[in-house]
Amino acid sequence: MLIDAVLKGHADFGVNDSSAVVGQLANFPPNSVRIFPGMLTKTPLAFAVRYDSPDLVEWINLFFLTTSLDGRLEKNLNYWVNTLDWKKDH
């Protein structure tokens, strides 16, 4: 793991996406790692879909549009990706 490599002195710092950092930090003592505030870049989530599945691509795009507009996408991202709140329930 990236954080483990930094703590063991194998790396001076690490760069990772925010959801990976949130998930990895749960395995280390509080305040053992300093997280740089902010984001270097913001890239969208992506899914691989077979080239011969245009209906699935359209369904996924409509799903993300619908859940984004009604607020469910942000709520689910905050629950499952951006925090460890889900661990309390599972």
The whole-angstrom separation of Cα 35 and Cα 86 is 22
Q: What is the pLDDT of residue 57?
A: 94
Show the tokens assigned to 59.
């369904």
Query: With contact defined as beta carbons under 8 Å apart, do 25 and 3 qualify?
Result: yes
- Block means of pLDDT (10 residues each) for the chain, length 90 residues? 87 86 83 82 84 96 96 93 86
The whole-angstrom separation of Cα 28 and Cα 21 is 11
Q: What is the pLDDT of residue 23?
A: 81
Domain positions in the chain are 1-41, 44-90
Q: Is 17 left (phi over 0), alpha (psi -120 to 50) or beta?
A: beta
Taking the whole predicted model, whether its pTM rises above 0.75 is answered as no
The whole-angstrom separation of Cα 14 and Cα 21 is 10
Q: What is the pLDDT of residue 22?
A: 80
